[in-house]
Amino acid sequence: MKSLIVYYSLEGNTEYAAKKIASEMGADILKIEPVKTYPNKGFRKFFWGGKSAVMAETPELKPYVFEADKYDRIIFGFPVWAGNVTPPIRTFVKENNLKGKQISAFACQSGSGAEKAFEKLKGVLGIEKLEAELVLIDPMNRPNEANEKKIRGFCARLE
């Protein structure tokens, strides 16, 4: 099965995990970014990102190349924002036909909310179940063996 990791990362934690998963699985990787970047500091970061997530916005993305036919499986990676899936992921799902693909996801968070975010993601995708799910606590900022073990377990489930 050929897999593509599609991820958004504001501060690097999701990117860190995406690269690890890609090398462990031999998956391809696609970073998506909004045209209008979110603030990444202080109160503005939480205010604008949180608002955008709660409002279920679909911000315009910078141009990207997604060769849908090449992949059987899409693995979404995103930071949890206000207990929700990060808006650029919504845009990607809206813009692409993912029918027939296996869908997995991993979410990075500092506390809680990933389960709710997975529910939202399934809603956007119109599916009942994700093939595999992984929750990581700030894997770049707080490196630890528990995260590494969870990453290996997630990759093993998708072999």
Ligand X SMILES: Cc1cc2nc3c(=O)[nH]c(=O)nc-3n(C[C@H](O)[C@H](O)[C@H](O)COP(=O)(O)O)c2cc1C
Kindly list the residues in this chain that would bind ligand X in the complex (CB under 6 A). Answer: 9-14, 45-46, 49-50, 79-83, 108-113, 138
Report, in Å, the least distance between residue 139 CB and ligand X. Answer: 7
Report, in Å, the least distance between residue 70 CB and ligand X. Answer: 25
CA torsion angle for 45, 145, 115, 5 (degrees, to 10)? 80
**Cβ neighbours around 60 below 10 Å, total:** 10
Contact in structure between 56 and 84 (CB atoms under 8 Å)? yes
Of the two residues 45 and 122, which places its CB atom closer to ligand X in the complex? 45
Rg (CA), the chain: 14
Of the two residues 103 and 135, which places its CB atom closer to ligand X in the complex? 135
Secondary structure element (H or E) that encloses residue 75, with its range? strand 73-79
Of the two residues 54 and 68, which places its CB atom closer to ligand X in the complex? 54
DSSP 81: B
Report, in Å, the least distance between residue 42 CB and ligand X. Answer: 10
Report, in Å, the least distance between residue 105 CB and ligand X. Answer: 14
